Chain A
């Protein structure tokens, strides 16, 4: 069974930093393309960014609102995905989901972790 478990969400002040983690199990993480998707309170879903498998190049891509501030990385030896968030803004407040990409969409989702950016 595929499992994705996010952690690291917290209350942080504007301008601060936070790192989220996503522990994956139940599939071959090394071959997986992974994304982060967020959902602001009471709002819809928004793609944050993606990292492809190292065998495919290991490259990352980001949505415009987070480009230059957020960094996605992976540790295949630990089956773990990361999201480093810097220069946080109040509009980054959201539940952040870790997802496994398959067939042009998000086949599996974690339970999400809440990031609150507020002074």
Chain B
């Protein structure tokens, strides 16, 4: 199974400041079709997850442009350019190349 490792586990952030979350996979996520199926999700307390990013860097409809994804191979990053109060919650990376596995989550909270 592909293991997805996120860091940090907890991320205290200041409103208006940038934030970055790392996700590393135990093997390359490049699929045979040339795509890299790496997703990012955000889950607010008491709510269902919502996908933010698919195929490494593509924002889902309605996702603010302060969210961006990057990376390749086994190393990926989610960046928030300026954190807003509504961004608190847990962020998960997930790979869809070798079946489906999620990272353990990064909890974002306001300092």
Whether B49 lies near A106 (C-beta < 8 A) is: yes
Which residues in chain A, 32-63, are within 8 Å of chain B measured between CB atoms?
Answer: 35, 44-47, 50, 61, 63
The CB with the most chain B CB atoms within 10 A, among A46, A102, A103, A107, is that of: A103
Is residue B55 within 8 Å, beta carbon to beta carbon, of the partner chain? yes
Main secondary structure of the interface of B (DSSP, over half): loop
User: Which B residues from 1 to 53 make CB contacts under 8 A with A?
Assistant: 31, 35, 37, 39, 41, 48-51
Measured as residues with beta carbon below 8 angstroms from the partner, the interface class of chain A is: 10 to 19
Give the number of A-B contacts (CB < 8 Å): 55
Q: How many B residues have CB within 8 A of the partner chain?
A: 24
CB atoms of A109 and B48 under 8 A apart: yes
- CA of A91 to CA of B77, assembled, Å: 32
The chain A residues found within 8 Å of chain B, CB to CB, are 35, 44-47, 50, 61, 63, 97, 102-107, 109-112
